[in-house]
Amino acid sequence: MDLIQKLLNITLIPSTFFALLLLVPPFYVLKFLSSLFKSCLNHESVAGKVALITGASSGIGEELAYEYARRGARLALVARREDRLRSVLDKALQLGSPDAMIIPADVSNIEDSQRFVAQTVNHFGQFPHLRKSRGKIVVISSAAAWCLPPRMSFYNASKAATISFFETLRAEFGPDIGITIVTPGFTKTEMTSDQLLEQMGVKTLPFAVPLESAERCAKAIVKSTCRGDMYLIEPSWTRTLMWLKWFLAAPVDWCFRFLLGKHRVIH
């Protein structure tokens, strides 16, 4: 077996490298043309459909509620802060949602999760039958899953695990249930507030970061989901960080160490 492993090391790596050189460019050309074709078509309508949104009391979740409301979707809004949910509910109804409800719950609690799904089913009557209705799941991960900024180890690991989990589910579900995995980059939410950064041990961000608004991010997510995309990196320029991490891993690691060493942190 060791001989086979050595043989594979010698032959498979270079052959795969040259195969990728031949296959990757035409694949991305076809992918680009496909995206242009999809953009010319009418996107899927969500009017009258049910959208269950967790984390709907603030940030991207709140803006997703408003964007789906503008498109006429019926909404089940879930979060822990009931007072914030009520204000989001009122605005969503004003923006055009024909029917919306709030469910105060904690998604980290299994009983709460079962309860808000059951309440959504009882109210709207159709949400859990995703396979029959060819429904969709939108997963909000983070660019931190592959950019891996320092002093955020548990957050980075959880977001990477989220991507791995739903990629596995996509393979298991097949085409019956669409799964769009979103990796937002630097977005202006409570997560990027100075108060939260201090809790993570950082006074301020170590370098100037242009933050995208949560509203713009939510609009991109809904469009991507309606197109049936497998992945969305938003804003799209953050994918350059992914490329740097893949192809220049050591220099990126040195930069992180330098910034962390030069930056004042809380111990």
Catalogue all structural domains in the chain, each as residue range(s) with its CATH number. 44-128 (3.40.50.720)
pLDDT (tens, 9 = 90+) of the chain, 267 residues, equals: 788 888 888 888 888 888 888 888 888 778 777 776 766 665 778 999 999 999 999 999 999 999 999 999 999 999 999 999 999 999 999 999 999 999 999 999 999 999 999 999 999 986 686 777 788 999 999 998 988 877 788 989 999 999 999 999 999 998 889 999 999 988 887 766 655 555 555 554 545 567 889 999 999 999 999 988 999 999 988 888 888 888 888 888 888 777 666 554 443
User: What is the C-alpha radius of gyration for the chain, rounded to an integer number of angstroms?
Assistant: 21
Residue 179: its pLDDT value, please? 95
Q: List C-alpha distances in Å: 43 to 8, 40, 223, 226, 232.
A: 46, 9, 8, 6, 16
Alpha helices in 44-180, H assignment, sequence order:
59-70, 82-95, 110-124, 130-133, 144-147, 153-173
| DSSP one-letter string for 67-90 | HHHHTT-EEEEEES-HHHHHHHHH
What number of other Cβ atoms are within 10 A of residue 127's Cβ? 21
Dihedral sign (CA 104, 114, 152, 183): negative
Contact (CB, 8 A) for 72 and 227: no
Tell me the two tokens of residue 126.
């159709």
Provide the pLDDT for residue 208.
Answer: 57
The catalytic residues are 155
pTM beyond cutoff 0.85: no
C-alpha distances in angstroms, 199 versus 189, 205, 245? 15, 13, 26
DSSP strand pairing (136-140 vs 212-213): unpaired
In degrees to the nearest 10, what's the CA dihedral of 253, 256, 262, 266? -120
